[in-house]
Chain A
Amino acid sequence: QLQLQESGPGLVKPSETLSLTCTVSGGSISSSSYYWGWIRQPPGKGLEWIGNIYYSGSTYYNPSLKSRVTISVDTSKNQFSLKLSSVTAADTAVYYCARRIYCSSTSCYWPYDYWGQGTLVTVSS
């Protein structure tokens, strides 16, 4: 059974960099069949897609965050990571990692089918 688990600091100071890691178990992150993504949810609000990475390292980012976001993959550890720089209180959210099936075109039927439990990151001094 595939499992994803987010980890990282729960409190980050304004203007600093938020760093989270998603550890994948029960499956290989090196599979050519999947994308690995990050989604966030501010307290009491809706879902916001942050970006995806493929095992090869190719990425897609949300343009609203693109200047501050880096998603990377470490196949040796079966992990992928999120870095969000210059954070403000508006970045306070539950951050989820998730998997979706790879497709070669932009338009794709496959949504996120496996999710981590989420981790709350609070931006505060």
Chain B
Amino acid sequence: DIQLTQSPSFLSASVGDRVTITCRASQGISSFLAWYQQKPGKAPKLLIYAASTLQSGVPSRFSGSGSGTEFTLTISSLQPEDFATYYCQQLNSYPRTFGQGTKLEIK
């Protein structure tokens, strides 16, 4: 199985900050990576797919980059509604594994 390791696991930031979350794969996965946002008690919401393609309706302050084994999710200017947990998922091979999550909290 491909393991995805996100860093950091917890992140404290303020409204307006620029934040970056990293997802590292245990083997190369080309650009077959997606990012999701999950708020408490809610289902995950798709933000980015193919490593860098913004899902329709997602604000442009979210961006993704990377290929191979290292990927990043960047939020350019944090808004109050962005405080949530973020997960990466690889779609290169089965089983479709997820990272362990990064919880973004208000400083």
Interface residues, chain A, with chain B CB atoms under 8 Å away: 46-49, 52, 60-64, 96, 98, 106-113, 115-118
Contact = CB atoms under 8 A, between A and B. Distances in A.
Nearest to A65: B95
A interface, by DSSP: helix, strand, loop or mixed? loop
B46 A111 contact: yes
A69 B13 CA distance: 41
Given A60-B94, A107-B92, A46 B46 contact: no
A114 to B, nearest CB: 9
Given A47-B44, A107-B30, A111-B89, A64 B95 contact: yes
A111 B93 CA distance: 12
B95 A62 contact: yes
B101 A46 contact: yes
16 contacts: A47-B89, A47-B98, A49-B95, A62-B95, A96-B44, A106-B93, A107-B93, A109-B32, A112-B34, A112-B36, A112-B46, A113-B46, A113-B55, A115-B43, A116-B43, A117-B43
Contacts of B45: 115
B99 to A, nearest CB: 7
Interface string B15-51: 0000000000000001110101000001111100110
B95 A109 contact: no
**Candidate in A49, A96, A98 with the most chain B CB atoms within 10 angstroms:** A49
Given A49-B95, A113-B55, A107 B44 contact: no
A109 B49 contact: yes
Given A46-B98, A46-B101, A49-B89, 6 more contacts: A47-B101, A49-B96, A107-B93, A111-B34, A112-B89, A117-B43
